[in-house]
Amino acid sequence: MSNIFIIAKNTFNVEVRDKIIYAVFGFAILYFFLMEFMSQLVLGELPMVKSFALLGVYFFNVIVALFLGTTSFYKDIERKIVYFILSKPVSRSQFIIGKFLGLCAVILFSSVVMGIDYMFLIYVVSHTIDFLGLLAIAMQFLEMSLFIAFAMFVTTFSSSILSIVFTSAVFFIGHVVSSLLSAASSMGIGGFKLILIKLMYYILPNLEKFDIRNIAIHPVQLPFLNFFFAFCYALFYIALLLFSAILIFKKKEL
């Protein structure tokens, strides 16, 4: 466990030093003033302000997660850092898990900063505290953690560029595959097309499970079990992806 913690801590420190902290705080400041300006344009329409604000937090974290997940691990191999680490009493599985936790810590840091920014913005606009908005950002963090795990898995057997392309494609499919399956069923689509859609639905991560922005914007009662199942789904998928990444990395010639 100590090796995993050390690798996670070093990964976090390296990524923070790699100017990502400036991007986080720079975007947070820009985001606040932009959303404040937007609230004036929509005459204080709170649902619209929340919608744009949560979308801004989401897309920023997607960019950070995609960048970290597809480049950090690959850079360690390119710069021979992984050779130095594995020459120590560190296993490849410890390296993968530590790397993943370190990258998740960066996303957590970004989510906390943007969450505070979001809460302050909503309070300025409406003088209320939006706990559902915070829950939506927490669910986004779960999605980004799964996203990073998938990106790391792909990076174990492909180049950084291919990893970016493939991970971006899976991200897009993960958000539309439920709608595709519903549309295929209602339109009576069958044969190979339906089989392909079902394969994508059951194999690729269903990222819509983590999207509760509409609930935060237009509060409705949602069973606690929905959040619990989404949390368990993320943990299961992350464990599966990391296990697969470890198996591939153990067989990888360095």
pLDDT value at residue 19: 67
- 110 burial (CB, 10 Å; 0-12 / 13-18 / 19+) is buried
| Structure tokens that stand for 115 in this block | 């969450």
Cα 164 to chain centroid distance, Å, stands at: 14
- The label of the residue with tokens 């976090």 reads 12
Q: Which residues of the chain have pLDDT under 70?
A: 1, 18-21, 24, 32, 35-44, 219-223, 254
pLDDT value at residue 72: 83
| Side chain identity at residue 156, one-letter code | T
| Structure tokens that stand for 248 in this block | 């591939």
Residues comprising the chain, all counted = 254
- Counting other chains too, the contacts that 127-133 makes at CB distance below 8 Å and 24 or more residues apart are 130/50, 130/216, 132/212, 132/215, 132/216, 132/219, 133/50, 133/53, 133/54, 133/216
pLDDT tens column, 178-226: 777 777 777 777 777 777 877 887 888 888 888 887 777 776 666 677 7
* Helix locations, 1-91, DSSP H: 2-15, 21-41, 46-78, 81-86
pLDDT value at residue 87: 78
Q: Give residues with Cβ within 8 angstroms of 81, minimum separation 6.
A: 75
Cα of first residue to Cα of last residue in the chain, in angstroms, is 24
Q: What is the largest CA-CA distance in the chain?
A: 61
pLDDT value at residue 20: 64
Q: Give residues with Cβ within 8 angstroms of 212, minimum separation 6.
A: 132, 135, 136, 139, 222
Q: Name the packing angle between helices 46-78 and 131-155 (round to 10°).
A: 20
- 144 burial (CB, 10 Å; 0-12 / 13-18 / 19+) is buried
What is the rounded CA–CA span in Å between residue 91 and residue 93?
5
Q: Give residues with Cβ within 8 angstroms of 248, minimum separation 6.
A: 153, 156, 157
pLDDT value at residue 174: 83
pLDDT value at residue 245: 93
